[in-house]
Copies of this chain bind each other. A is one copy, B any other.
Amino acid sequence: MARVVVDVMLKPEILDPQGQAVQRALPRLGFEGIADVRQGKRFELEVEGPVDDAALARIRELAESFLANTVIEDFTVRVEESAAGATAPTGAAR
């Protein structure tokens, strides 16, 4: 089983109130030096069978027509390297 990740972010020109709320809270939490925060969505799809080009193309289609609303959002699709522990959010980073 392979994992495909679809990241969906609001387009840069669309106001992101959630990201802004995080950013506004940073000083209160004692954080400096973060110029901008954007908040988006991350989908993890567990795909049965091989993730070949055809499968990826279909998932792109899915992202375009369904997971993202391309009127306001951009997206990326990528296969997650199963080994790379750094990118697999299965345990809290400490």
Contacts and interface: CB of A to CB of B under 8 A. Distances in A.
Interface of A: 1, 7-9, 12, 19, 22, 25-26, 29, 31, 33-49, 55, 58, 60, 62-68, 70, 74-78, 86-94
Contacts of A67: 22
Nearest to A56: B93
A41 B44 contact: no
Contacts of A31: 58, 62
A40 B42 contact: yes
17 contacts: A12-B90, A19-B44, A29-B62, A29-B65, A33-B49, A34-B47, A34-B48, A37-B43, A37-B44, A38-B44, A39-B41, A39-B43, A41-B42, A63-B93, A76-B87, A76-B88, A76-B93
